[in-house]
Structure formats: C-alpha cells, structure tokens
Structure 1
Amino acid sequence: MAKALYKLGYWVTGNKRKIISGTIALLIALAIFAVNMGISFSEDMSMPNTESADAGELLQKEFSSSKGKSGGQVQLVFKAPKNETLDSEKVNKVIEEALSEIKKGDSEVASVATPVALGNLTKDKKMGYATVTYKVEAGDVTDTSKENIKKNIEITKDAGVQTELAGTVAFSKTEAGGPAEGIGIIIAFVILAVTFTSFLAAGMPILTAIIGLGIGLLAIVIGTNFMDIPSVSLSVASMLGLAVGIDYALFIIVRYRQQLKEGYAVRESIAIATGTAGSAVVFAGITVIIGLLGLSVTEIPFLTAMGFAGAFSVLIAIFIAIIVVPAVLALMGHKIGPSRKNRLLDKITGRNKKQDSSNKWGEFVVKRPFIVTILGIGLLVIISIPFFHMNLGLPDNGTKSVETTERKAYDLLSEAYGPGVHSTLVVVAKTNNAGEDAQKAVNSMGDKIKDISNVKTVSPAIPGSSGKVFMISITPETGPGDQKTKDIVHSIRGKSTSEVELLVTGQTAADIDLSEGLSTALVKFAILIIGFAFILLVIIFRSLLVPLKAVLGFVLSLGATLGFIVFVVQDGHFLDLFGFPSTSPILNFLPVIVVAILFGLSMDYEVFLVSRMREEYIHTGDARKAILAGMKNSGNVVTAAGLIMVAVFTGFMLTSDPMVKIMGMALTFGVLFDAFIVRLAIVPAVMTLLGKSAWYLPRWLDKILPNIDIEGETIMKTVEKQKKTEKNTNPVEKGRRKMM
C-alpha cells in the first residue's frame, strides 16, 4: 500500500490543477443534484422484531379502519389567562377561530378538535389541548403547513392565552451546522497556526476538510431519496468528516514539511508524505470505518444507516487527504515549507529552537512511570463509576431548550396532567376465544394492572375487530425516562397467562425495548471491536503486551467517557455549565456510537505514537530511548490532532439540539481522556515499566503474521538507496572524491 500511495503522490503532483478543478466541479455538481432532488430523511428510530413492534402491528390490524398509517398530529396546548377558563365563551371562541383558520389555510389538515370537544380540560378548566390531525404522516407534513399553524396561534396568543405546540409533528429539527460549529473551526485554525507557525499552512487542512465534508454531506442528502437515513446521521457525518478531515491533512502536511526540511524536492516530498503519512491516514481511516460499519451487528436499521453515513464521510476524508491535499501542496510548493517563519506566531507562542527540541513531558513520564500510571488509571476509574447506573432512553421534548415551544408545551402538559401524560402505555391483550368470557378475563387482568405500583389510571378494555384482541390504555405516575415506568412495562408483561397474553406498545414501550436491545448489542459490539483491535495491533507492532495495553487503555477511556456523561446529564451535575436544560436518560444509541468512533480515534493515536517508538526500538534496542523518541517526534502531532478533535466536537456540543449536544460532549471528553490521559501519559508510563518485555512476540507467531508497513519504512529505504546511488553516479561528486 505504501508504494502504491508513493506513486499516487508522484502522479498527483503532475495533475494538480486537474484534480483541484475536478474536485470543485464534483462539489458543485452534487450541490445541484441535492437542490433538485431535495431532502427526505427518515425519522423512524424503531427496532424491529421487538414485543412493542409486534404489538403495534397487531393494534394497527385490529383497530385501524384503513390500511395506511395514521396522519401526523399537532397538539395545541393552552393555558387560560389569569381569572379566565378555557371553557368560557370568550376564550373558547378565540380557540375555535384559530383552529378554523388553521383548517381553512391548509388542505392537508384532516380535522381539528377543541379542548372542550375532546374533554381534556383540567379540573380548574385552566388548561387543555386541541388537536390538529393531518392527512399525511408526521414526517411528510410540510414547512408551509407548520408555518400555517405558527401564524394562526397568534390569534390565541394575542388574546392572552398561552399557546405551545406538541405532538408527533416536529417544529425544531436536528442541527447539522451553524455558528456553534464555526467556533470549533476557529479554534482548530488557531491550533494549526501554532503547530505550523504559518497562517497559510493552518488554513489548508481546514479548507480541504470542508471540501471533503461538503462532498460527503451532499452525497448523504442525495442518498436520503433512495434509502432510509435518519436526520441525526447528518450530524454524526459532520462531526466525523470535519474532525478526521483536518487531522488527516495535518499528518500529511507535517510529513511534507519534514521532508522539505531534510532537503528533498517538492515533488519527492509530496510523494514521500503520501506514501508514509498517507499510509497511516488510510489505516487510521479504515479503523474508524470498520468501527462504524460494525454498527450493523446491532441489526437496528437506523443505527446501521447512521454508521454507513459516518463511514462514507470518513471515506471521503481519506480520499481528500491522499489526493486533494497533495495536489494543493504541489500548487503551493515552498510557500508552506518549514523555512517560512511567522514572527507574529513565534512571538505569541514563545516558540524557539530549544523548545522545539525539548521533550520535557516525555522525560517526566519516563522518570516517574509508576506514579503516572497509578494516577492516570485511578483518575479514569473514578470517573467511570457513574457508568454502572446508566439509564438509557431517547430524548423527548422535556430535554429540549426551555426556549422552544415543544419544551414549553411539555412543561404545561406535565403541570396539567402529571409527568405520566408523556409516557402513556398501550396494552394489547390477546385471548384464545372471543365473547363474554374473553371480555371478563381481560377486565380481570385490567384490575391486576391497576394494582401495579406507580400506575395512575387504567382505561376500560376495548375489543378489536376479531373480538379476541383488546386494547387498554395506561397512564403511569412517572415520565417516559423514569426507571419506575420501565418497571411497569416489565410488570405488565410478566402478568401474561395461558388465557390472556399481554403485549405492551406505544412510543414509551418502543423506546424501552430499543434501549434494552442496544444495551445487549453494546456488549456484543464492544467485544467484537476490542478483539479486532487486539489482533490488528499485534500484527502492526509485533508484540503481545503493547496491543493488550492499548485495548485496556481504550476500555478505560470508554468507561470514563460514559461515566462522565452519566455524571453530568443523568445525575445532574454541572448542567448549567454544559448548557443542558434538565437531567435526562442517556441517549440510548450513544454508547454504541461512542464505542464505534472512539475505537477508531484511539487506535489512530496509538499507532501514530507507538509506531515511532517501535521504529526507534528496532534501530537501537533501547526501550527507554524508544519511548522518548516516540514522545518527542509523535507526541506533538498527537497533541495537535487531539486538540483539533476536541475543538471540532466542542462546537457540536454547543448546539441546542439534545441529540447532537450529548454526542458532541461524549466525543469531546472521549478524545480528551483517550489522547491526553491514556495515550500521552498511561501508555508511555506502562511501556517504561514493561521495558523490553513490551516488545516480546513468540518467534512462531512472528513468522506467520503478515507484515504491515503503515509507516512506509520500505519507501524511505528505497528513497535513501536511490539517493546514494544518484550521489555516487553524479560526475561532479565523483570528481570531488578523486580530488580528496
């Protein structure tokens, strides 16, 4: 692979303008296609083959008069003005007028119903909700229809009636970009400027990453017209595409500048950088892609689609790094070479030659390996403790910003009817026979459900079309994310008998099934990923203990990441600091996503750091010297790469959407823990304690393992050999030797 990439680098430099113009043309073409085809994201985040899914299908069959799916609904939640009630003639007239205008202004509206007609007014008549039902599914309700509702509820608002919006139709969508993400890019630019001591060089990785991100996201948007892709996939792809795109360009540019500094020509430097750093980039990208594609083992469609979208974004970042970045380098030439200094940056950072050659942190770790190991492991273990009481769930309107209408509606409904109004359960009771005996058996079962702790109300059983299936609605005392609500679901399912089988469905039950399914999948997925990482690192590093140390470090950083998220989001510590409006369960697919992404990133840092140590150890046989060499030559690159990742992910953490926010936070702290505590502290400390034994590999195993040259050592040997040959055959050089 290294030799092929070396040749690719040579080819790119000769076709630089064609490649750059072709890439821009591709970006423009995709943009035109995306605009013409539109966006069609799927908001179905369900898990097939669960009890709630099966019960939902049975419910649809028995109680739906039409074969199609039910239309989307919007709840207009009202709170009467002071000293007024919703059933008063004045207020009710205003509500009816607003609803009439909503129906009149939109042909897609099937029906409207006032709170009085629905009979849902609270005891004091101060609060209630109207319902607008559409002819189309919730996901197909147009922005024009939503604007129609927003415009007409001003009628009730102007009359002093607080009016907020809830229901299955979303009025705020997942964010995939915005000012917050721009902050991360600015911070990344500053880090790159300090790393390169050049504003021009700092802009290159960001520019190429944005181009790659644009290509990836536009292709995903086009793909939504052909397959089911959840909207949150765009945020995952954005985070990954931008972060790895900048990092991969950084690795290649750093190597290019090193080769120029050693006296190589521009074209040769680009070819070497593409063959060496490019090989590491391809390997790093493939590990991230494998982790994301591995999400398919969960057998959950939306998660598989999310993994494919993220993997595609990373794949584009790889192509941009090994093709477009070398082309831009060829165009810029010596303009971003190491000889070009930036006095302003040198002055700001206080950088000088002595500091460039120092290795204070590496020397500190090597001198105190036991203390660093104990402190590092101890810190991560302590942070991991909250992980063991993690409660998974899906964010609802109660986790949105207090400024959104959905959150205000959520709070009003909780105030009016209790938190259980958001976690209504639907029980499907299946009997062997129809008739009075079946009705009696189901009614008896309903009485038993009433006795379950934390159940607020149980509706009378309603028979379905066959007479053998009945529907019972249950309202718990607690909200959808509460553990007590989960206990109710399990208790109901446990009461099934030979005469009556109880199935629980509804959105709350579906979310519970999904969370539990993901918990089971997480264990299988983590074992698969860790096993793959160990085998891969054994092949790369020709060692048993180094890979073992690497995967255990990954487990530590993963545990600390999830533990910290639980500590903040679920337990409620520092909520204001991180901008979370309230406590909530942990996003149910977050652990699996974090495992997939953090696995790839942690292996990247491990390879970039330890491969340099291995190279030095092979040459010198000195384990301590190898660790210092790795920390000195690769530590700064890993530091810069980690800081860039943190900067980009922090930008997403600053968004208001709860899904994007928690994913951004998890990846931010995941990289912080893994790059700076595990890879730059625990790894060198443990390797110092292990000494030469760290590199032990049985001879029989060494013989059968394939040799993967991800650092391009064979290329450098070939280049050095050619250089010596050219030097020896140079007539001027020969004459000079004779004179000597």
Structure 2
Amino acid sequence: MASLLYRLGRLSFRRRRYFALLWVVLLGACAFAAVNAPEAEDKGFTVPGTESQKAFDLLDERFPGGNSEGADARIVFAAPDGQKVTAGDTKAAVERVVDEVAGGSQVKEALSPFKDDAVSKNGSTAYSSITYDVPSEKLTEGTKKALMDAVEDGRDAGMTVEVGGSAVDAGPEFGGVTELIGIGVAALVLLITFRALVAAGLPLVTALVGLGAGICAIMALGLPTTTITLALMLGLAVGIDYALFIVSRYRAERAEGRPAEEAVGRAVGTAGSAVVFAGATVVIALAGLSVAGVPMLTEMGLAAAGTVVIGVLVALTLLPALLGFFPKAVLPRAHRAARQPAAAAKAKEAAGSRWARFVIRRPVASLLLRSCVTSSFRRSRRCEGWW
C-alpha cells in the first residue's frame, strides 16, 4: 500500500496540471448533473416494524388526505374540562377554525372533524386534517401565519388547540451561517498551526472541492435533501483532516532536506496510508447504518460514505498536484528563507514537536499532571450538581 501511494503521490506531483484539470472537469460534470437532475422524491421518514410507524400508517389509512405530496397539518381540539367539543358553542368554535383555515391560500382541503368522524368516543377531543397544494418548502409565510392565527382563535375560544405536520415543521437548512463560521474557525486554526497562508489554504481548498463533488453527486443521484446534512458535516471535517496529515508530513520531509517531488511521494506513502485506513474505517461505520433497517438512515449513511470516499481520493491525488504548484509556499518562512536544506533543518522547531519531546523525556510527570487535571475536572463537575 505504501509503495503504491508513494508512486501515486510522485505521479500527481509530476502530472499536476492533468490531475488538477481532471478534478475541475469532474466537479463541473457533477455540478451539471446536479442542476439537470429531477427533483428528489420526498419519501418521508419511516421506521418499519415499530409501533409508532404502525400508528402513522393507521392515520394515513383513516385520513388519506394527509399522505399527499403536498404539505399537511393536523389540528387537535380539546374541549375545556367537563365539556365536549360537540357542544353548541365549542362545536361552532371548531368549525370556525376549520373554515378559517380552509379559506386560506394554497389550501387543498380542510376536513371538519364532525363530517369526517374524527371525534373521540367521549366527545372531549376532535381531529382536523389539512392538506395543501404545494410541498412544505413552497408554503408562503402568509399561509403559515393564517394557520397559526386560526389556531390562536381556537384557543381564545377556551379550547386547547395544538397543530403539527409538515406545514409547521422546519425543514433542513444547508449552507447557513453555522457552516461559514466553522470554515472560518478552521482557517484560523490552520493558519496558526502552519504559520503559512498557502499551507493553511490548501486543506480548505481540497476539502471544499471534495465536498462540492460529493454534494453534487448526491443531488445528481436523486437522493433526498435530508441526506446532505450528514454528508456536509463529515465531508468538510475529513477533507480538512486528511489534507492536514499529508501537508504536515510534506513539510517535515522538506525540513529534512528532501526535494519537493520526493517529499510529496513520502508524504502520500506514509500519511496517505493513514488517510486510506481512516477513510475506510469511516466508510464502513457509515455503511453500517443500513443495519438499523431505517430507510432514511441507510440513505444518509451511504451518501456520507460516498462523500468520504471522494475526500480520500482528493487528498491522495489533487493535494499532491497542488503541492506541485506551491512546493515552497507551504513551508514556514524560516525554511523558505534558508538557502540550503541543512540550514532549513536547523530552523526553529515547532511548538508541537517541542511539547512531544518534553512528554517523551518525562513520561511519569506527564501522567501525573494528566491525572491531576482529570481529577480536578471531575470534582468541579460534581460540585456543579450541588448548585
């Protein structure tokens, strides 16, 4: 494995223009396929064989309108204590709420509990099913507000009214502020670690390329958008992590005086082996989600596993090619300024290396320090329970 990766790293370095062009073409092809792919079918969340799923299946059987392709809402009315929803004033209030919802835009059907036999045997509660002409993500804010206003009118009438369904549930959000903050923090940490702008940028660039190709592939295959959540998190994390391994090893090899091509080959042959092993472990774990027998988890696991595979391939091929474009820019300033490899090797040792050497020289003291810190943390956690 190491010798094969060594040759692959040197080949990517020498043919860097071809490898870079290859990944640009692949990314463009995936993006084109994703844009032209049909909209993914929302199959919903099902857990076959569970009691809750049997309850949902029974609801779909009794109220088939709630199983349409459009959004749905379910309104439950509970009469005040000692009263019934079938009583005069309470029944009129329920019908007003249903009629108010039915008059809203984008509403396909609003079933009255009294006409649809959706009243409990003791008459204390009633159930109304609302369906819409469009999916939940296409509902306007006005439509959602009209639904919630009708619910509030029912509560003002003295009833307990609750609403649920896809019309009021928030769908998954992607590419928001959280992901941008995460990328910014990662860039800052990489910059502090490497003390070189190019070295900090390469892991981010390769991670974004792998993530973009993986997400576009998921969309092109027509998988539900819910599968993107896990793929987005893991793709970005492993993409940065795996590139970090190889860049760090490359810098270490260059610090020992080896030429750029040889350093890339050794970095991919050594750190790349760890990348392959780590990536295979993650892929197997994600594929194992299919054992649970939940269709959504299976799709999420396989989609995320595919994104991790792409991240591994990017780290082993595109990253060495980019190192070929910037063989010296990824090195610390002291190494770039040194004219001879020997002088670069004598440059100031990194803080992480100095700490590792300290721990190795004083293992007993390090273990005692760790034990003291752990004990202090546990005592502080126990103390928090008394407040």
Determine the structure 2 residue equivalent to 1:252: 246
Determine the structure 1 residue equivalent to 2:213: 215
CA positional deviation for 1:74? 0.4
Give, in whole Å, the separation in 2 of the partners of 1:249 and 1:259: 15
Determine the structure 1 residue equivalent to 2:103: 101
CA positional deviation for 1:319? 0.5
CA positional deviation for 1:22? 2.7
Identity of aligned residues (%): 31
Per-residue CA distance 1:132-183 (angstroms, 9 max, x = gap): 43389xxx83533465632534764998978975225553113343112222
Question: Equivalences for 1:662-701 in 2 at 5 Å?
Answer: none
Give, in whole Å, the separation in 2 of the partners of 1:218 and 1:302: 19
Per-residue CA distance 1:173-200 (angstroms, 9 max, x = gap): 1334311222222121111111111122
Determine the structure 1 residue equivalent to 2:231: 237
Asked if structure 1 preserves the Cα contact closer than 8 Å seen for 2:214 and 2:307, the reply is yes
Determine the structure 2 residue equivalent to 1:527: none
Question: Equivalences for 1:289-300 in 2 at 5 Å?
Answer: 289-300=283-294
Give, in whole Å, the separation in 1 of the partners of 2:215 and 2:273: 25
CA positional deviation for 1:265? 2.2
The change in CA–CA distance for 1:129 and 1:285 in structure 2 (over 3 A counts) is same
Q: 1:367 aligns with which of 364, 368, 376?
A: 364
* 1:134 aligns to 2:136 (yes or no): no
The change in CA–CA distance for 1:9 and 1:98 in structure 2 (over 3 A counts) is same
Asked if structure 1 preserves the Cα contact closer than 8 Å seen for 2:46 and 2:53, the reply is no
CA positional deviation for 1:339? 4.1
Asked if structure 2 preserves the Cα contact closer than 8 Å seen for 1:112 and 1:131, the reply is yes
* 1:111 aligns to 2:81 (yes or no): no
Higher mean C-alpha deviation, range 194-203 or range 356-365: 356-365
Question: Equivalences for 1:307-706 in 2 at 5 Å?
Answer: 307-339=301-333, 353=349, 355=351, 358-359=354-355, 362-363=359-360, 366-368=363-365, 371=368
Asked if structure 2 preserves the Cα contact closer than 8 Å seen for 1:99 and 1:112, the reply is no
Asked if structure 2 preserves the Cα contact closer than 8 Å seen for 1:197 and 1:341, the reply is no
Partner amino acid, structure 1, of 2:44: E
Determine the structure 2 residue equivalent to 1:30: 30
TM-score norm. by structure 2 comes to 0.73
Tell me the SS of whatever aligns to 1:358: helix
Per-residue CA distance 1:284-316 (angstroms, 9 max, x = gap): 111221222233343443333332222112111
Tell me the SS of whatever aligns to 1:336: coil
CA positional deviation for 1:9? 1.4
CA positional deviation for 1:326? 0.9
Tell me the SS of whatever aligns to 2:173: coil
Asked if structure 1 preserves the Cα contact closer than 8 Å seen for 2:110 and 2:131, the reply is yes
Partner amino acid, structure 2, of 1:44: F
Give, in whole Å, the separation in 1 of the partners of 2:130 and 2:148: 19
Tell me the SS of whatever aligns to 1:133: strand
Give, in whole Å, the separation in 2 of the partners of 1:153 and 1:111: 11
Q: 2:173 aligns with which of 172, 175, 183?
A: 175
Asked if structure 2 preserves the Cα contact closer than 8 Å seen for 1:42 and 1:230, the reply is no
Please, what is the CA RMSD of the aligned residues? 4.6
Per-residue CA distance 1:8-61 (angstroms, 9 max, x = gap): 11221233223223323322332232233223354324044x56667877x589
Asked if structure 2 preserves the Cα contact closer than 8 Å seen for 1:101 and 1:152, the reply is no
Tell me the SS of whatever aligns to 1:188: helix
Tell me the SS of whatever aligns to 2:326: helix
The change in CA–CA distance for 1:88 and 1:212 in structure 2 (over 3 A counts) is same
Tell me the SS of whatever aligns to 2:354: coil
The change in CA–CA distance for 1:293 and 1:114 in structure 2 (over 3 A counts) is closer
Per-residue CA distance 1:347-373 (angstroms, 9 max, x = gap): xxxx96484652375158602366367
Tell me the SS of whatever aligns to 1:277: helix
Give, in whole Å, the separation in 1 of the partners of 2:154 and 2:54: 45
Asked if structure 2 preserves the Cα contact closer than 8 Å seen for 1:196 and 1:202, the reply is yes
Asked if structure 2 preserves the Cα contact closer than 8 Å seen for 1:30 and 1:218, the reply is yes
Partner amino acid, structure 2, of 1:99: V
The change in CA–CA distance for 1:191 and 1:256 in structure 2 (over 3 A counts) is same
Give, in whole Å, the separation in 2 of the partners of 1:354 and 1:110: 68
The change in CA–CA distance for 1:43 and 1:364 in structure 2 (over 3 A counts) is farther
Determine the structure 2 residue equivalent to 1:199: 197
CA positional deviation for 1:237? 1.5
CA positional deviation for 1:223? 2.9
Asked if structure 1 preserves the Cα contact closer than 8 Å seen for 2:279 and 2:308, the reply is yes
Asked if structure 1 preserves the Cα contact closer than 8 Å seen for 2:255 and 2:335, the reply is no
Partner amino acid, structure 1, of 2:40: I
Give, in whole Å, the separation in 2 of the partners of 1:160 and 1:41: 32
The change in CA–CA distance for 1:321 and 1:355 in structure 2 (over 3 A counts) is closer
* 1:46 aligns to 2:44 (yes or no): no
Give, in whole Å, the separation in 2 of the partners of 1:274 and 1:219: 26
Asked if structure 2 preserves the Cα contact closer than 8 Å seen for 1:261 and 1:339, the reply is no
Determine the structure 1 residue equivalent to 2:82: none
The change in CA–CA distance for 1:176 and 1:364 in structure 2 (over 3 A counts) is farther
Give, in whole Å, the separation in 2 of the partners of 1:325 and 1:368: 40
Give, in whole Å, the separation in 2 of the partners of 1:98 and 1:311: 47
Determine the structure 2 residue equivalent to 1:9: 9
Asked if structure 2 preserves the Cα contact closer than 8 Å seen for 1:198 and 1:341, the reply is no
Tell me the SS of whatever aligns to 2:164: strand
The change in CA–CA distance for 1:339 and 1:148 in structure 2 (over 3 A counts) is closer
Determine the structure 2 residue equivalent to 1:511: none
Give, in whole Å, the separation in 2 of the partners of 1:52 and 1:152: 30
Q: Runs of 5+ in structure 2 lacking a partner? A: 79-87, 338-346
Asked if structure 2 preserves the Cα contact closer than 8 Å seen for 1:230 and 1:302, the reply is no
The change in CA–CA distance for 1:372 and 1:356 in structure 2 (over 3 A counts) is closer
Asked if structure 2 preserves the Cα contact closer than 8 Å seen for 1:255 and 1:273, the reply is yes
Asked if structure 1 preserves the Cα contact closer than 8 Å seen for 2:230 and 2:300, the reply is yes
Partner amino acid, structure 1, of 2:368: I
The change in CA–CA distance for 1:8 and 1:352 in structure 2 (over 3 A counts) is closer
- Structure number with the bigger relative contact order (C-alpha 8 A, sep ≥ 6) is 2
The count of residues paired between Structure 1 and Structure 2 equals 354
Tell me the SS of whatever aligns to 2:262: helix
Give, in whole Å, the separation in 2 of the partners of 1:106 and 1:357: 64
CA positional deviation for 1:106? 3.3
Partner amino acid, structure 2, of 1:184: G
The change in CA–CA distance for 1:45 and 1:157 in structure 2 (over 3 A counts) is closer
TM-score norm. by structure 1 comes to 0.41
Determine the structure 2 residue equivalent to 1:647: none
Per-residue CA distance 1:370-419 (angstroms, 9 max, x = gap): 63676688799x79xxxxxxxxxxxxxxxxxxxxxxxxxxxxxxxxxxxx
The change in CA–CA distance for 1:113 and 1:18 in structure 2 (over 3 A counts) is farther
